[in-house]
Amino acid sequence: MKLLVVEDEPGIASFVSRGLQRVGYEVEWVETGRDALACATDGSDFDLVLLDLGLPDLDGLEVLAELRVRGVDVPVFILTARGDGDDQVRGLALGAEQYLTKPFPFAELLSRICARVPLTAK
């Protein structure tokens, strides 16, 4: 199962990526919205995108909206420090399946991911 982590903070990206890799997910990490759009539309067939909202070039909500306009229907979980209810409502309305506010326990993130993208037996 292949996941795309879109996060501009290297510490957070490393923490999430390493934890997911430890349990068996394949993880690719990008730092910008433009890179996220390129990866998600190049045929890489991600099973899930973990998307930060505060990216250096594009807002994560813009990335999500553009993915949907381009017909990319990959599940998206928003992981953000922005606890604003308006952002949460907008993200879910744009098609995000989950909205987690940082900081969050890794176990909670993992349980949500496993519920949506279960690891298959090797």
Is residue 122's pLDDT more than 70? no
pLDDT of the residue at 23: 96
What is the band of 83 on the pLDDT scale with cuts at 50, 70, 90? confident
What is the band of 30 on the pLDDT scale with cuts at 50, 70, 90? very high
For the chain, domains (ranges, CATH) are 2-116 (3.40.50.2300)
Report percent pLDDT > 70 for the chain.
Answer: 98
Mean pLDDT in residue range 28-56: 95
Instruction: State pTM to two decimals.
Output: 0.94
Q: How far apart are CA 109 and CA 79, in angstroms?
A: 9
Partners of 28 in the β-ladder:
4
Tell me phi and psi for residue 52, to 5 degrees. Answer: -80, 150
Mean pLDDT in residue range 78-85: 89
Helix H or strand E segment including 24: none
> How many beta carbons lie within 10 A of that of residue 105, not counting itself?
9
Amino acid, res. 57: D
pLDDT of the residue at 117: 94
pLDDT tens digits for 84-110?
Answer: 789 999 999 999 999 999 999 999 999
Q: How far apart are CA 78 and CA 121, in angstroms?
A: 27
Strands 48-51 and 26-30, sheet pairing: unpaired
Mean pLDDT in residue range 39-56: 94
